[in-house]
Chains A and B, each alone.
Chain A
Amino acid sequence: MDKSFDIPTTPIQFEKIAVNPGPSCMSFGFDMKPLLNSIKKIGLINSPILIKKRKGEGAVQYEVIAGFRRISALRALSLNPIPCRILPSETPSLDCLLINLYENLCSRDFNPVEKGMVLTRLLDLIPEREVLDTYMPLFDLPSHRETLHLFAGVEKMFDHQAKTLLASEYLSMKAAKLLIEMDGTERNMFCGYFSAVRFSKNQQTQFIDLVSDLSHIENSPVTCLLMDPRLKDIRDNPQMNNPQKARALITVLRKKRLPRLTKAETGFKQMVEKLALPPAFQIVPPPFFEGAQYRLEISFENGKDLKERLQFVANNERLAAFINPWKMNL
């Protein structure tokens, strides 16, 4: 490719430009407002790049190589014609893709869906090794085959809903990795939950993990488990906010998946309640009861206060009944 990019602009009417993004475009889930405001305020700074279609059928004669968002914004503002730079129709596909890529790289970050779009198209045009070594680092991604195919999998296997969740950060890449290995129906059902309930990133993977585990244990399809009325009722409960729904869903699943642990957690809470300690005292169990030591936290104002509180604890007869909250079947 000629290293200089000095192409004069030509005014092109909307009607002659394809409405859909061409194969070189890589925009997904963008917010048009800032661009609209910018164009309204100071006009178009950077002219879109088009290519003349090899077979100019009908009115449409040009495909968008770079600037699809700008063209959409200009269309919305009815600013016609648009000053565009036109590439010769024989420009190789790889060059077109790289023009778009490097133009965008200079001005914005790519979301995971867009990274998947670019990498997938590059894989069609150049050897995998070159994609790994040259292009993965451009997206701050490790040059690992597994990572490359994860992003390509997003492009190939995710539907619009799943891509939208991922692009808008309502779905983490870690969760996406788990969803990619599922069939489309299962993935869609999970995405239904993730769009209805805003889980935290950790809760997303926990939710997928719990449902997948239960599916294996109960030999029941994921889709059946996700149709469970108890889960659907929580998801669709208008009285609960998002964090409450997420916590409640996880709680229901954990109870089923980890019956002994959740029973121990409940037993622990009941034992602590029975101790009737004032709010200044808190007993903290080791995570998952794995460590051997519980921790007693005491808030106090001064030494005298601490002494009194320690005395209070020492005199609490009920403490002797505090034991590990599980029963063993020895």
Chain B
Amino acid sequence: MRLLLKSHLACKNFPLRVQERIIEGLLWLSAVITILITAAIIWVLLSESVSFFSEVSIIDFLTDKEWTPLFAQKHFGILPLVAGTLLTTAIAIAVALPIGLTIAVYLNEYAPGRFKQTVKPLLEILATIPTVVYGFFALTVVTPFLQKIIPTLAGFNALSAGIVMGIMIIPMISSLSEDAISAVPRSLREAAYGMGSTRLQTAFGVMVPAASSGIVVSVILAISRAVGETMIVAIAAGQQPRLTLDPTVPIETITTYIVQVSLGDVPHGSLEYRTIFAAGITLFIFTFALNNLSFWIKKKYQEKYD
């Protein structure tokens, strides 16, 4: 209050109302610029996709089982790329969900307060490692290790990329889930203990279900992150679009394909060039839907347990 008064006095000759208007205008401008940029990106995606779909039928795009836009025999079926994306994402979630949730429960229910305060930020460091480092880790450490167990494993494969991606998103799930479990009223924990529950029964019978909306949101955000992840899969999963659920062979994700074409020598404005926009909009629809779903779940169930 005092500061405000001071600055007011300092610009005595400058009417307060004009000052207010300028600040208001600047704030408005920054908000509008953000929205405009988003709108512009969507516009570019849409317009390029429209011209792509004027040449390739959307039915072929969604049903053709091959994706070979760079070959002489061109096929434009997005399914192999979608399958590659979903496969690596599924492996990542299969790794991250059990580990992340276990960590969240451990930190909340078992770990002493000081331990939790140390470990949680440490875990979040995992999220700050550049993804290119994770990519090389997958290719040069995890794949050779896995090849000792599965000799038929290809040098580039979905398994190793998925596992490493899973490690990358553990902190996302553990941290957000831990927040959700912490937010469950203490009275519920006391009720569970008061009924003779063990710690394990309290954690999985009462706390986790009560925090389920927050946990689901954390998983959806993690899925969204995994779907959009580029570097790890580009380095370790291969560049061979293939409609398969076999995690041991090279595949290609939507993101990897976009990288491949962007870095290649495909002429601007060609049909091959426009494929990346079609792939991009597919990816955008996935992540947009997931983020909205998490937003909706959060809104619908958040206050339920208060």
Asked if chains A and B come from one complex, the reply is no
Please list the residues of chain B having a beta carbon within 8 angstroms of any beta carbon in chain A: none
A residues near B (Cβ < 8 Å) are none
